[in-house]
Amino acid sequence: MSSHRTHAILAAVALLVGACGGPAESGSPSPSTAPTSESSAAATSPTSRACPAEPAPVPATTTRWWHDRVFYEIFVRSFADSDGDGIGDLQGLISRLDSLNDGDPSTTDDLGVTALWLMPIDASPSYHGYDVTDYRTVEPDYGTNDDFRALVSAARERGIEIIVDLVMNHTSIDHPWFQDARSPGSVHDDWYLWADEHPGIGGPGGRPVWHADGERWYYGYFWEGMPDLNLGNDEVTAEMDAAARFWVDEMGAAGFRLDAARHLIEDGATLENTPETFAWLRGFKDRLQAPTPDALVLGEVWDAASVASRYVREGSLDLAFDFGLASQMLQAVRNGDATSLGFIQSEVSAVYPTGGYAAFLSNHDQDRVFDAVGGDPARARQAATLLLTNPGVPFIYYGEEVGLRGRKPDERIRTPMPWDMTPPGYGFTTGEPWQPMAEGIDTANVAGQSGDADSLLSHYRDLIRLRAGEPALGPGGTLTPVQASDRSVYAVIRDDPGSGVIAVISNLSDEPVEDVVLSLDTGPLCGTPTAAVRLGDPGVPVAAPLVNPLGGFVTWDIGPMAAHQDLVIALEP
């Protein structure tokens, strides 16, 4: 990592106190408790919690391969074009793998991600691919099945695993199954949901979900071009099982992101999160993982954490995306107000099993991060800090690392990746891009930011490497909110038994804060550590906190913080 970076936006304090042992005790600072002025010199004190002579035993946990990964979401159509037709493809992706991870941990000019999620690559009539016509054939625009196998092989050589979108809620209206099902009594008639009369049920906001076809009506939750499969039919379930087995056994996929996971089976007017959906997913996951226990089952459950976490707690999914947390992180950065974010993060972590949720800032259905935070590079960097120091398994949407811009409609949040500054294809293609490039790519591109130690891309690279080297930042680490003297200052403690403690501190404001003081009633600290800046401005002196008998600190005087400043400080015995 580059200790010379004077403007690094990294909020982590490595408290290397492995001998302290054990997670933080219960309890958190009261939001109404204002820190008082007190010396924070790291002198030996009889009131300090003593470090145990022997490290406490580390609790046994089940660690899965995805827990220590950083995922990167790719829309293949927009990532890299190998043949000049303006459409991204799998061979193009292979040619750019070294930019994502070159497989050499000693280099620092790759992003460092260790897993990829590919948006749908099955054959489809639409640009986005979420209406499948063949579950076992790669979309011809992207290449062939052999191209995908070559991608898996090349990725694994670099330490990268690949999961793919599996769209099981619905197919394309052009799928041969549905075309056959349009004839009453046909082989595939019961593979979809039909009614002789309109059932009188609508979707959110009255949106139509039943669509006319001749004298009958079929159910399609998202739109008429995507009829829902009848997953209550054993034959359909068997076909979905077989498709999943094909991608794992024959194609080499490491697992799946399940689109629209909460919508799989309806019950009358209840169109989401039905008991039947939970049960179906449990069965699918169990059958998939019986011969391949390491096949990841990740679900899109766009709902409150209390609902999404149930899918993980009840064994229906390995991971679920937490959409509410993504919104809260962006809101805190956009508003410069950290008042409740740490506590919200702590609550989210508490409702999921350890390592049970996927953290992200944006995806292919949402406005891009750079626009969501007002087009401010400093805010974009701090959003990255929040994401990559969070306990959730992190997912980065392609292009966020260079500040790629985009607002709805969907095509404009899925524009081609800008690799260099050469028009018209900007390194994405030698031809005309399938979609016009986004605004601002003269600066928001890989080549222009790669050699700049203060760029957003360099910040993402540093954060990913920091996370890889600090177990406390991973899903196994706890998160404890720390009270700050100013509402714009975000501060939390990350702790992993036996591997140290990390404090994350950020001034989210556009204005400097004169004197930042932190307090923590109870925590995981012990002894009398000393402080040293590890990443950020090495000339900034920061004293260590005075540890109290409960492993926290009454006050920790950080001193002044510049606008949008984050610090990395190591506290060592």
Catalytic residue among 68, 300, 322, 557: 300
**With 90 as the cut, is the pLDDT of residue 532 above it?**
no
Distance CA 418, CA 118 (A): 18
12-16, 311-315, 379-383: lowest mean pLDDT where? Answer: 12-16
Task: Please indicate whether residue 300 is annotated as part of the active site.
Answer: yes
Tell me the pLDDT tens digit for each residue of 318-331: 999 999 999 999 99
How big is the chain, counted in residues?
A: 573
- E strand or H helix at 527, and its extent? none
CA 537-540-545 angle, 5° bins: 120
Q: List Cβ neighbours of 316 (8 Å cut-off, separation of 6 or more).
A: 277, 278, 279, 281, 282, 285, 299, 310
Residue with the bigger pLDDT between 541 and 382: it is 382
Q: Which two tokens stand for residue 170?
A: 């619905």
The dihedrals phi and psi of 212, each to the nearest 5 degrees, come to -75, 140
| Nearest residue to 435 via CA among 461, 454, 417, 458 | 417
The dihedrals phi and psi of 241, each to the nearest 5 degrees, come to -60, -45
**With 60 as the cut, is the pLDDT of residue 23 above it?**
no
Domains of the chain listed by start with CATH number: 13-53+478-572 (no CATH), 65-169+233-402+451-469 (3.20.20.80), 176-219 (3.90.400.10)
Burial readout 371-383 (b: 16 or more C-beta within 10 A, e: otherwise): bbbeebbbbbbbb
What are the CA-CA distances from residue 241 to residues 169, 248, 272 (Å)?
13, 11, 21
Q: What is the dihedral of CA 317, 145, 397, 169, to 10 degrees?
A: -40
- Residue 38 has what pLDDT? 38
Q: List Cβ neighbours of 477 (8 Å cut-off, separation of 6 or more).
A: 391, 471, 494, 495, 496, 502
- Residue 99 has what pLDDT? 98
Distance CA 219, CA 201 (A): 10
Q: Which two tokens stand for residue 123?
A: 């054959």
Task: Please indicate whether residue 276 is annotated as part of the active site.
Answer: no
Residue with the bigger pLDDT between 80 and 48: it is 80
| E strands present in 181-313 | 194-195, 210-213, 216-219, 255-258, 296-299
Tell me the pLDDT tens digit for each residue of 467-501: 998 888 899 889 999 999 999 999 998 888 777 78
- Work out whether the CA dihedral 445, 450, 455, 460 comes out positive or negative: positive
- Residue 44 has what pLDDT? 41
- Residue 538 has what pLDDT? 56
The dihedrals phi and psi of 313, each to the nearest 5 degrees, come to -60, -35
Q: How many CA atoms within 13 Å lie on the side-chain side of 503? A: 33
**With 50 as the cut, is the pLDDT of residue 8 above it?**
no
Tell me the pLDDT tens digit for each residue of 366-395: 999 999 999 999 999 999 999 999 999 999
61-65, 180-184, 368-372: lowest mean pLDDT where? Answer: 61-65
| CB neighbourhood size of 37 (10 A) | 10
What are the CA-CA distances from residue 380 to residues 71, 386, 451, 464, 562 (Å)?
18, 10, 19, 15, 16
| Confidence grade of residue 32 (pLDDT, cut at 50, 70, 90) | very low
Does residue 314 sit in helix, strand or coil? coil
Distance CA 130, CA 61 (A): 36
420 within 8 A of 383, measured Cβ to Cβ: no
Strands 161-166 and 122-123: unpaired
262 within 8 A of 277, measured Cβ to Cβ: yes
**With 70 as the cut, is the pLDDT of residue 15 above it?**
no
Q: List Cβ neighbours of 531 (8 Å cut-off, separation of 6 or more).
A: 42, 542, 543, 544, 569, 570, 571
Q: Which two tokens stand for residue 350?
A: 């508490």
Q: List Cβ neighbours of 140 (8 Å cut-off, separation of 6 or more).
A: 123
Strands 551-561 and 134-138: unpaired
Q: What is the dihedral of CA 328, 332, 338, 340, to 10 degrees?
A: -20
Catalytic residue among 165, 259, 322, 557: 259
- Residue 533 has what pLDDT? 65
DSSP label at 408? S
**With 80 as the cut, is the pLDDT of residue 36 above it?**
no
Q: According to the 3-state scheme, what is the secondary structure of 46-62?
A: CCCCCCCCCCCCCCCCC
Residue with the bigger pLDDT between 269 and 525: it is 269
Distance CA 267, CA 325 (A): 29
- Residue 539 has what pLDDT? 62
* Distance, CA of 227 to chain centre: 29
Residue that has been written with the tokens 């360099």 in this structure: 458
Alpha helices (H) in 269-355, listed in sequence order: 275-289, 305-313, 323-335, 341-351
Average per-residue pLDDT for the chain: 89
